[in-house]
Structure 1
Protein backbone atom coordinates (compact mmCIF):
# COMPACT_ATOMS: atom_id res chain seq x y z
CA UNK A 1 0.00 0.00 0.00
CA UNK A 2 2.80 2.43 0.88
CA UNK A 3 4.61 1.49 -2.28
CA UNK A 4 1.59 2.53 -4.37
CA UNK A 5 1.27 5.81 -2.51
CA UNK A 6 4.96 6.58 -2.98
CA UNK A 7 4.77 5.64 -6.65
CA UNK A 8 1.70 7.84 -7.14
CA UNK A 9 3.37 10.71 -5.27
CA UNK A 10 6.53 10.44 -7.40
CA UNK A 11 4.45 10.36 -10.58
CA UNK A 12 2.46 13.36 -9.38
CA UNK A 13 5.65 15.33 -8.65
CA UNK A 14 7.02 14.52 -12.10
CA UNK A 15 3.78 15.63 -13.74
CA UNK A 16 3.80 18.87 -11.77
CA UNK A 17 7.40 19.54 -12.81
CA UNK A 18 6.42 18.99 -16.45
CA UNK A 19 3.59 21.51 -16.07
CA UNK A 20 5.89 24.06 -14.45
CA UNK A 21 8.48 23.65 -17.21
CA UNK A 22 5.90 24.21 -19.95
CA UNK A 23 4.41 27.37 -18.46
CA UNK A 24 6.82 30.24 -18.05
CA UNK A 25 5.03 33.55 -17.71
CA UNK A 26 6.36 36.52 -19.64
CA UNK A 27 7.87 39.04 -17.29
CA UNK A 28 7.04 42.59 -18.41
CA UNK A 29 9.79 45.14 -18.68
CA UNK A 30 10.13 47.83 -16.06
CA UNK A 31 9.10 50.75 -18.28
CA UNK A 32 5.90 48.92 -19.28
CA UNK A 33 5.01 48.34 -15.65
CA UNK A 34 5.68 51.99 -14.84
CA UNK A 35 3.61 53.13 -17.83
CA UNK A 36 0.73 50.90 -16.78
CA UNK A 37 0.94 52.14 -13.21
CA UNK A 38 1.07 55.80 -14.29
CA UNK A 39 -1.91 55.30 -16.62
CA UNK A 40 -3.86 53.67 -13.81
CA UNK A 41 -3.02 56.51 -11.42
CA UNK A 42 -4.04 59.12 -13.99
CA UNK A 43 -7.37 57.40 -14.69
CA UNK A 44 -7.97 57.01 -10.97
CA UNK A 45 -7.28 60.72 -10.41
CA UNK A 46 -9.69 61.71 -13.21
CA UNK A 47 -12.36 59.40 -11.83
CA UNK A 48 -11.90 60.87 -8.35
CA UNK A 49 -12.24 64.42 -9.65
CA UNK A 50 -15.35 63.50 -11.64
CA UNK A 51 -16.95 61.76 -8.66
CA UNK A 52 -16.08 64.65 -6.33
CA UNK A 53 -17.63 67.12 -8.78
CA UNK A 54 -20.78 65.01 -9.05
CA UNK A 55 -20.95 64.75 -5.26
CA UNK A 56 -20.84 68.53 -4.88
CA UNK A 57 -23.47 68.97 -7.59
CA UNK A 58 -25.75 66.45 -5.87
CA UNK A 59 -25.20 68.08 -2.46
CA UNK A 60 -25.94 71.50 -3.94
CA UNK A 61 -29.11 70.16 -5.59
CA UNK A 62 -30.32 68.65 -2.32
CA UNK A 63 -29.57 71.85 -0.42
CA UNK A 64 -31.36 73.91 -3.05
CA UNK A 65 -34.41 71.64 -2.95
CA UNK A 66 -34.59 71.96 0.85
CA UNK A 67 -34.41 75.75 0.57
CA UNK A 68 -37.16 75.71 -2.08
CA UNK A 69 -39.38 73.55 0.12
CA UNK A 70 -38.73 75.64 3.22
CA UNK A 71 -39.57 78.95 1.55
CA UNK A 72 -42.36 77.39 -0.55
CA UNK A 73 -41.29 78.76 -3.90
CA UNK A 74 -43.26 76.72 -6.49
CA UNK A 75 -41.88 78.41 -9.64
CA UNK A 76 -38.31 77.48 -8.69
CA UNK A 77 -39.41 73.95 -7.92
CA UNK A 78 -41.09 73.71 -11.34
CA UNK A 79 -37.95 75.04 -13.08
CA UNK A 80 -35.78 72.50 -11.28
CA UNK A 81 -38.16 69.69 -12.25
CA UNK A 82 -38.13 70.84 -15.87
CA UNK A 83 -34.34 71.06 -16.00
CA UNK A 84 -34.03 67.64 -14.39
CA UNK A 85 -36.45 66.25 -16.99
CA UNK A 86 -34.14 67.57 -19.73
CA UNK A 87 -30.69 66.88 -18.26
CA UNK A 88 -31.12 63.47 -16.62
CA UNK A 89 -31.52 61.59 -19.95
CA UNK A 90 -28.48 63.46 -21.32
CA UNK A 91 -26.41 62.45 -18.30
CA UNK A 92 -27.57 58.82 -18.55
CA UNK A 93 -26.66 58.66 -22.25
CA UNK A 94 -23.23 60.17 -21.61
CA UNK A 95 -22.55 57.71 -18.75
CA UNK A 96 -23.63 54.71 -20.82
CA UNK A 97 -21.33 55.80 -23.68
CA UNK A 98 -18.45 56.23 -21.23
CA UNK A 99 -19.12 52.77 -19.78
CA UNK A 100 -19.24 51.18 -23.22
CA UNK A 101 -16.00 52.90 -24.14
CA UNK A 102 -14.34 51.21 -21.16
CA UNK A 103 -13.05 54.41 -19.60
CA UNK A 104 -13.55 53.22 -16.04
CA UNK A 105 -11.02 52.54 -13.37
CA UNK A 106 -11.11 49.13 -11.79
CA UNK A 107 -11.11 49.21 -8.02
CA UNK A 108 -8.90 46.84 -6.05
CA UNK A 109 -10.82 47.37 -2.85
CA UNK A 110 -8.91 50.42 -1.64
Structure 2
Protein backbone atom coordinates (compact mmCIF):
# COMPACT_ATOMS: atom_id res chain seq x y z
CA UNK A 1 0.00 0.00 0.00
CA UNK A 2 2.77 2.36 0.91
CA UNK A 3 4.60 1.59 -2.29
CA UNK A 4 1.59 2.50 -4.47
CA UNK A 5 1.16 5.83 -2.64
CA UNK A 6 4.81 6.64 -3.27
CA UNK A 7 4.42 5.79 -6.94
CA UNK A 8 1.34 7.99 -7.14
CA UNK A 9 3.17 10.91 -5.54
CA UNK A 10 6.13 10.42 -7.84
CA UNK A 11 3.87 10.46 -10.91
CA UNK A 12 2.16 13.63 -9.64
CA UNK A 13 5.54 15.28 -9.11
CA UNK A 14 6.66 14.30 -12.59
CA UNK A 15 3.46 15.72 -14.04
CA UNK A 16 3.99 18.99 -12.14
CA UNK A 17 7.60 19.17 -13.33
CA UNK A 18 6.46 18.77 -16.92
CA UNK A 19 3.98 21.61 -16.44
CA UNK A 20 6.75 23.83 -15.03
CA UNK A 21 8.99 22.98 -17.98
CA UNK A 22 6.20 23.90 -20.39
CA UNK A 23 5.77 27.26 -18.67
CA UNK A 24 9.48 27.97 -19.06
CA UNK A 25 9.50 27.01 -22.73
CA UNK A 26 7.39 29.96 -23.79
CA UNK A 27 9.49 32.56 -25.51
CA UNK A 28 9.14 36.15 -24.33
CA UNK A 29 7.61 38.74 -26.61
CA UNK A 30 10.02 40.38 -28.98
CA UNK A 31 10.97 44.02 -28.68
CA UNK A 32 9.01 44.80 -31.84
CA UNK A 33 5.84 43.25 -30.42
CA UNK A 34 6.26 45.18 -27.18
CA UNK A 35 6.73 48.44 -29.09
CA UNK A 36 3.59 47.72 -31.12
CA UNK A 37 1.59 47.06 -27.95
CA UNK A 38 2.88 50.29 -26.42
CA UNK A 39 1.94 52.24 -29.55
CA UNK A 40 -1.56 50.73 -29.54
CA UNK A 41 -2.01 51.59 -25.87
CA UNK A 42 -0.84 55.16 -26.45
CA UNK A 43 -3.30 55.50 -29.33
CA UNK A 44 -6.14 54.24 -27.13
CA UNK A 45 -5.19 56.70 -24.40
CA UNK A 46 -5.02 59.53 -26.92
CA UNK A 47 -8.51 58.73 -28.26
CA UNK A 48 -9.90 58.48 -24.73
CA UNK A 49 -8.33 61.83 -23.83
CA UNK A 50 -9.81 63.58 -26.87
CA UNK A 51 -13.20 62.05 -26.15
CA UNK A 52 -13.05 63.23 -22.54
CA UNK A 53 -11.95 66.75 -23.51
CA UNK A 54 -14.70 67.03 -26.11
CA UNK A 55 -17.33 65.93 -23.57
CA UNK A 56 -15.93 68.49 -21.13
CA UNK A 57 -16.16 71.31 -23.67
CA UNK A 58 -19.69 70.39 -24.75
CA UNK A 59 -20.79 70.29 -21.11
CA UNK A 60 -19.09 73.61 -20.38
CA UNK A 61 -20.72 75.29 -23.37
CA UNK A 62 -24.10 73.86 -22.39
CA UNK A 63 -23.77 75.14 -18.83
CA UNK A 64 -22.61 78.57 -19.94
CA UNK A 65 -25.46 78.89 -22.42
CA UNK A 66 -28.01 77.91 -19.75
CA UNK A 67 -26.39 80.40 -17.40
CA UNK A 68 -26.59 83.20 -19.97
CA UNK A 69 -30.17 82.36 -20.90
CA UNK A 70 -31.24 82.38 -17.26
CA UNK A 71 -29.71 85.82 -16.75
CA UNK A 72 -31.42 87.24 -19.82
CA UNK A 73 -34.79 85.47 -19.65
CA UNK A 74 -35.47 85.25 -15.91
CA UNK A 75 -33.18 87.33 -13.71
CA UNK A 76 -35.36 86.71 -10.63
CA UNK A 77 -34.98 82.94 -10.96
CA UNK A 78 -31.25 83.35 -11.51
CA UNK A 79 -30.86 85.49 -8.40
CA UNK A 80 -32.96 83.02 -6.37
CA UNK A 81 -30.75 80.13 -7.44
CA UNK A 82 -27.62 82.11 -6.59
CA UNK A 83 -28.88 83.05 -3.13
CA UNK A 84 -29.91 79.43 -2.52
CA UNK A 85 -26.47 78.27 -3.54
CA UNK A 86 -24.83 80.77 -1.18
CA UNK A 87 -27.00 79.57 1.70
CA UNK A 88 -26.93 75.81 1.06
CA UNK A 89 -23.34 75.34 -0.17
CA UNK A 90 -21.71 75.85 3.26
CA UNK A 91 -24.26 73.51 4.88
CA UNK A 92 -23.61 70.79 2.33
CA UNK A 93 -19.86 71.30 2.66
CA UNK A 94 -20.09 70.98 6.45
CA UNK A 95 -22.10 67.73 6.19
CA UNK A 96 -19.67 66.24 3.68
CA UNK A 97 -16.60 67.16 5.73
CA UNK A 98 -18.18 65.77 8.88
CA UNK A 99 -19.07 62.53 7.10
CA UNK A 100 -15.49 62.24 5.78
CA UNK A 101 -14.07 62.70 9.30
CA UNK A 102 -16.48 60.12 10.72
CA UNK A 103 -15.38 57.54 8.14
CA UNK A 104 -11.80 57.75 9.44
CA UNK A 105 -12.76 57.07 13.08
CA UNK A 106 -12.78 53.61 14.57
CA UNK A 107 -16.08 52.54 16.08
CA UNK A 108 -15.99 52.57 19.89
TM-score normalized by structure 2? 0.50
Using the size of structure 1 for normalisation, the TM-score is: 0.49
Larger Rg: 2
Determine which structure has greater relative contact order: mean sequence separation of CA pairs < 8 Å that are 6+ residues apart, divided by chain length: 1
Whichever structure has more helix as a proportion of its residues is 2
